[in-house]
């Protein structure tokens, strides 16, 4: 198996474990709220990753800070803030206004954003067949999300803001998700220090934790929005902790690893398949119905991803048979 193929496999596995963690995180968000949940899982992730970096990564505590170059810290740290703080903030805000299904559509902007930013910052390009694959996958995801019953999604909640604001924040969330992966890879491209995916994940979580807690503390909301809520909902701490280890730490490490092996736009397109995976899981776990339209849309989206992965082979086949 070559490096790119391993990267694709890692991205698929990272997407799968992220999708699987959606269920316990959804239960926790309904009980704790997204603010308390995000603070708690960042703290758990930072503690676990510190232990893993020291034991498995063979790094001293000082190495966590002194080893990487300043550029690596800036790029990878900024990716953590963009993806786990800013992007999630815009995403949750858009979800509050527009509802979960409609707001999820804006996540399909991430592959195009990644492709554009990767071309500008990393000099990565994808051929015409690959671009068609990305667009086909995006169309499939949008069709899939719009194929759900209207009654399953809540109408716009204008008490949280206008529809225009919801759309703007949805777009910004999608752009953040696309951009953070590119600057993560830019950090890996700095060869002054060999940055492992595990250490890069630690930097991302560390930066996101510091910024998020600083923001909450500056608003004087840490006790009411986080500490009190977590203390009063201790019955789900075990579930959230396991989901954090499985769905946050493992998925990010796998994505960080995959982005070192293949193009960022391919990784982001694979990650964008999360909604396609969540629904079959819901069918198994909660007996939610699958319609022919959603299954067809899923096949369209997945076919687009495989077209993207095999873009070079498809291009060679087309050129051979056209000539």
**Could you report the per-residue pLDDT of 92-136, keeping only the tens digit for each?**
778 777 766 677 788 888 999 999 999 999 999 999 999 999 999
d(CA 36, CA 236): 13
Contact, 121 vs 179, CB < 8 A?
A: no
Instruction: Name which residue leads in pLDDT, 222 or 1.
Output: 222
* Distances, alpha carbon 260 to alpha carbons 20, 86, 133, 134, 251, in Å: 24, 24, 21, 20, 15
**Could you report the per-residue pLDDT of 206-221, keeping only the tens digit for each?**
999 999 999 999 999 9
Contact, 170 vs 98, CB < 8 A?
A: yes
Helices and strands in the chain: count of H runs, count of E runs: 18, 0
Closest CA to 183 of 168, 158, 164, 203: 203
What pLDDT score was predicted for residue 198? 95
Mean residue pLDDT of the chain comes to: 87
What pLDDT score was predicted for residue 170? 87
Cα-Cα-Cα-Cα dihedral sign, residues 141, 144, 146, 149 = negative
What pLDDT score was predicted for residue 227? 94
Instruction: Name which residue leads in pLDDT, 131 or 29.
Output: 131
**Could you report the per-residue pLDDT of 42-77, keeping only the tens digit for each?**
999 999 999 999 999 999 999 999 999 999 999 999
| pTM (predicted TM-score) | 0.86
Contact, 53 vs 59, CB < 8 A?
A: yes
Contact, 182 vs 117, CB < 8 A?
A: yes
Owning domain of residue 207: 3-322
What pLDDT score was predicted for residue 152? 47
d(CA 113, CA 34): 25
What pLDDT score was predicted for residue 150? 41
Q: Tokens in use for 227?
A: 């500490």
What pLDDT score was predicted for residue 252? 93
Cα-Cα-Cα-Cα dihedral sign, residues 132, 134, 139, 144 = positive
Cα-Cα-Cα-Cα dihedral sign, residues 172, 181, 213, 235 = positive
When pLDDT is cut at 50, 70 and 90, the band that residue 158 belongs to is low
When pLDDT is cut at 50, 70 and 90, the band that residue 1 belongs to is low
When pLDDT is cut at 50, 70 and 90, the band that residue 293 belongs to is confident
Q: What angle do CA 22, 55, 18 make, to 5 degrees?
A: 10
d(CA 44, CA 31): 18
d(CA 304, CA 157): 34
pLDDT of 298 > 80? The answer is yes
Number of independent structural domains in the chain: 1
Burial class (CB in 10 A: 0-12, 13-18, 19+), 108: buried
Residue 131 CB: number of other CB atoms within 10 A? 17
Give the residue-averaged pLDDT of 294-300.
86
Burial class (CB in 10 A: 0-12, 13-18, 19+), 319: exposed
Contact, 196 vs 67, CB < 8 A?
A: no
Query: How remote is the C-alpha of 284 from its chain's centroid?
Result: 23
Closest CA to 97 of 152, 157, 150, 151: 157
What pLDDT score was predicted for residue 100? 62
* Distances, alpha carbon 192 to alpha carbons 93, 202, 262, in Å: 39, 18, 21
Tallying the residues shown for the chain, one arrives at 323
């Amino acid at each position: 198996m070559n490096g790119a193929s391993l990267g694709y496999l890692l991205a698929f596995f990272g997407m799968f474990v992220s999708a699987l963690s959606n269920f316990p995180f959804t239960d926790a968000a309904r009980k704790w709220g997204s603010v308390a949940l995000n603070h708690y899982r960042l703290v758990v992730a930072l503690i676990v990753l510190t232990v893993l970096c020291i034991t498995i990564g063979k790094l001293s505590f000082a190495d966590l800070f002194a080893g990487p170059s300043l550029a690596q810290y800036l790029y990878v740290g900024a990716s953590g803030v963009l993806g786990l703080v800013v992007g999630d903030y815009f995403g949750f805000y858009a979800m509050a206004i527009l509802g979960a299904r409609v707001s999820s559509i804006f996540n399909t902007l991430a592959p195009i954003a990644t492709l554009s930013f990767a071309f500008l910052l990393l000099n990565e390009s994808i051929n015409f067949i690959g671009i068609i694959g990305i667009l086909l996958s995006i169309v499939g995801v949008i069709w899939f999300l719009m194929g759900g019953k209207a009654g399953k999604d809540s109408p716009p909640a204008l008490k949280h803001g206008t529809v225009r604001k919801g759309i703007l924040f949805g777009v910004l969330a999608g752009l953040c998700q696309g951009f953070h992966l590119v600057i993560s890879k830019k950090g890996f491209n700095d060869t002054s220090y060999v940055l492992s995916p595990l250490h890069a994940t630690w930097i991302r979580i560390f930066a996101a934790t510091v910024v998020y807690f600083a923001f909450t503390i500056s608003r004087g909301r840490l006790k009411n929005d986080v500490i009190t809520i977590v203390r009063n909902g201790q019955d789900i701490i075990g579930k959230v902790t396991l989901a954090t280890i499985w769905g946050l730490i493992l998925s990010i490490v796998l994505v960080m690893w995959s982005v070192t092996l293949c193009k960022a736009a391919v990784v982001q397109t694979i990650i964008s398949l999360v909604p396609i995976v969540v629904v079959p899981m819901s069918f198994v776990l909660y007996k939610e119905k699958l319609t022919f339209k959603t299954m067809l849309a899923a096949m369209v989206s997945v076919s687009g991803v495989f077209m993207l992965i095999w873009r070079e082979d498809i291009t060679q086949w087309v050129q051979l048979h056209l000539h």
